[in-house]
Amino acid sequence: MNALAGAARWNVDPWLLLPLGAVVLAYARGLRGLVGRRGFPIWRPWCFSAGMCVLLAALVSPIDFLGHLLLSFHMLQHWLLMMVAVPLLLLGSAGMVVLRGLPSRVRRGALGPFLASAACRSALRTLVHPITGWTALLIVTVAWHVPALYQAALEQDWIHKVEHASFIVGAVLFWYPIVAPWPSRRVWPSAAFIAYVLAADLQNTVFASILTFSDRVLYPVYEPTATALGWSALRDQQLAGAIMWTGTQLIMLPVAVLFVRRALLGDAREAPASHRRPPVRSQPFDLLRMPFIGAVLRSRRARGTLRWAALVSAVAVMVDGWLGPQDAPSNLAGTIPWTHWRGIAVLALLVCGNVLCMTCPLVAARNLLRRVWTPRLRWPRALGGKWVAAGLVVVWLVVYEAFDLWATPAGTAWVLLGFFVAALVVDGLFKGAAFCKSVCPIGQFQMVQSTLSPLGVSVRDENVCQSCETQECIRGAQPRGGLIPLRVAVRGCELELFQPAKRGNIDCTFCLDCADACPHGNVALQPIRVRDSLASPVWGSSIGRIDGRIDLALLMLVLVFGAFTNAAAMTGPWLDLADSLSARWNMTSPTLVEGALALTGVCVLPLFAALIAAAASARLGGGGWLGNFNLGAHALVPIGAMMWLVHWTFHLATSSQTAIPAAQRAMLDLGIDWFGQPQWAQSCCVPTPTWLLPIELLLLQGGLLCSGWIAWRQRVERSERRPIRASLPWWLLAIGLWAWGTWIVMQPMQMRGTAL
């Protein structure tokens, strides 16, 4: 009861209130004649006032006293000081205005010579440097969360005051380079501050996750007081971690988005045109010209070898799926496709492009078919575009959840066989790589995710292509040297992509047949820009204009929301919901319910959310709803790709050894004992690495920022008059997906494909 009564205690320490009052008076005095000058608008005094109110709330209100009783209030106090009060005070240019408000004798006679000295100016430049600020924030965060120091601060009042002072100083040093209070300027370009802010958010995430997910009380000093207040000390600690985590991200993420916008608009306009250096023309990076790896990629024989190796592996997985044990963790079909291949695939897509299509075993089978059969038909126009592929992606995601394909090796083997049969039938009847372009759901997944890849097939010199009359890169070339039969002459791009007009990696399988056929050696594997894939309004070969392709937009929406649905279906709350609905409807199996939930997450939810966002975007920024719908779907690709990466690398990190005993068992079934007896303990997943969760959250944040940037960039590329207003609905939708993904990674997960 005494503790509860103390909740109304205010801190009226005169040694705190008198200095704060003096600062307010000096600021008011220095403000005279300053408002309205260049660089000092009226909002700066308002920011200072708000900052002082937050400072008083943190240090004077009952929050200060409750911080001695509960860790959550202590964390709230620190958050108010470091993440709210200090930035607001810096936005109000508190330091310069207070200095201006001091008596002239003090300002000019005492402080002036000292501040003007070379040593002082050099020291101040070092103190306000971004590296100093980031390091200071890290040091104060780490030091004062050491249990011994933390408990000492609660027991000794003077240590507690030192703690608060160090937090304020560390926050000032951290935020000063970001805010650059009047009349200073930033020393780094805006692009560098994106990494600065995200790195600070990452270290905050590490400490917050320790508090949130620890299974023991880290600060025992709170156990008696928390119990007296009717709280659990562990729950109080988890709440403190959540405040530290989400509260900081509410500040950091908008700041990072602001710097993304400044990097696009502001930095290029800061320097006068006469002072800008002329661009230096240099030969861009080309992976095909790199030693060894470039030679391998340029070699048709080497690429064919990779495809045949993948084909042999696929056949081995199918045979083991049919003939091996039907316990998924002990079967190659239950481990390799659903754990190892998926994780490696998404990593490869985002790092080096659509190399999985380059090494696809279906291409090896198709090329073998081409030796004896040449298709004559064209893919029906009524089935053109991505309609069939989008529908198959929906079927794939729903069937996977409803029938637990990951747990049925024989089912996985039949699915793989179905891919081979479908590819041979479609490509045997239709030319133009119709299966890759319009049917294959795995290929569509890889093409969409590779829009974020830094590499793409392009040309070294567009002028060479413009002057080329033969266009062998598309039509194909005659065999050179007379050693290759005419039926297997050097093929060009079967998807008929004109490389200089291509935008991004959509529809490009990275087969590099165009590189073989080009007589000028002009094809390259070079860096590409994400905005060309997802934001450019320019017509692109094979895809046209992105704002006119509703089939492509629907495919992207299905894959984006499919990423979150596929991951959420592994969480405890989702499985509990499926079981409770099955019990309510008297179903013996949750198959139908799980399929319905997956269909809702993959189809109903994206259509509903995207239509609302498109209508709001059209109303706020103009344009038709259909164009906004198509553009917005492209903008959501980054956050969806990061969810796929987070989900599948989680399995790869925790279940990387599960294929080893399955492979040993398969070899023993063949009478080969070279690799020893299976160690079935490896079929169980390992504990989640401590570094994984912060990396997952950072990836989701990066996807959110990239999606927000793409949504804004699309409107800028189209020269819309209100790009921010038009982007706002899609920003909100991306934030909702980010929140969903953050919730998912914090839930207990079903360890599919393992012995657990």
**Dist CA 548 CA 626 (whole Å):** 8
Rounded to two decimals, the pTM is 0.72
Please give the helix or strand (H or E) that residue 638 lies within, else none.
helix 637-654
- Tokens 């690429």 — which residue? 303
> Given this model, what pLDDT does residue 110 score?
60
What DSSP state is assigned to residue 687? P
> Given this model, what pLDDT does residue 610 score?
95
HSE, CB side, 13 Å, CA atoms: give it for residue 708: 26
> Given this model, what pLDDT does residue 652 score?
83
- Nearest CA to 468 out of 514, 542, 520 is that of 520
What DSSP state is assigned to residue 704? H
- Three-class DSSP category at 540: strand
- Nearest CA to 171 out of 147, 146, 144, 209 is that of 144
- Nearest CA to 680 out of 346, 331, 426, 368 is that of 331
Distance in Å from the first CA to the final CA of the chain: 48
- Tokens 């049969």 — which residue? 421
Distances (CA, A) of 133 to 141, 255, 448: 12, 16, 39
Compute how many other C-beta atoms are within 10 angstroms of the C-beta atom of residue 398. 22
> Given this model, what pLDDT does residue 91 score?
86
Burial group, residue 375, by CB count within 10 angstroms (0-12, 13-18, 19+): middle
pLDDT digits (tens, 9 = 90+) for 104-142: 666 665 666 666 667 767 777 778 788 888 888 888 888
Strands 455-459 and 523-527: antiparallel
And the tokens for 480? 């050179």
Residue ranges of E strands in 436-528? 455-459, 523-527
> Given this model, what pLDDT does residue 487 score?
43
Distances (CA, A) of 710 to 195, 454, 535, 693: 18, 15, 6, 26
Are 683 and 756 in contact by the 8 Å Cβ rule? The answer is no
**Dist CA 648 CA 340 (whole Å):** 9
> Given this model, what pLDDT does residue 636 score?
95
> Given this model, what pLDDT does residue 557 score?
96
Q: Output the 3-class SS for 129-158.
A: CHHHHHHHHHHHHHHCCCHHHHHHHHHCHH
And the tokens for 31? 């403000």
- Residues 6 or more apart in contact with residue 606 via CB below 8 angstroms: 557, 558, 560, 561
And the tokens for 600? 């809702």
- Three-class DSSP category at 736: helix
And the tokens for 661? 């005993």
pLDDT digits (tens, 9 = 90+) for 596-638: 999 999 999 999 999 999 999 999 888 888 999 999 999 999 9
Return mean pLDDT, the chain.
Answer: 82
> Given this model, what pLDDT does residue 3 score?
46
Extract the residue ranges of the chain whose pLDDT is less than 50: 1-7, 267-281, 481-488
> Given this model, what pLDDT does residue 733 score?
95
**Dist CA 447 CA 510 (whole Å):** 10
Compute how many other C-beta atoms are within 10 angstroms of the C-beta atom of residue 721. 9
> Given this model, what pLDDT does residue 314 score?
92
H helix intervals, 569-624: 572-584, 591-599, 605-621
> Given this model, what pLDDT does residue 567 score?
92
CA dihedral (592, 642, 346, 522) positive or negative: positive
Distances (CA, A) of 79 to 6, 11, 206, 270, 335: 22, 18, 16, 34, 45
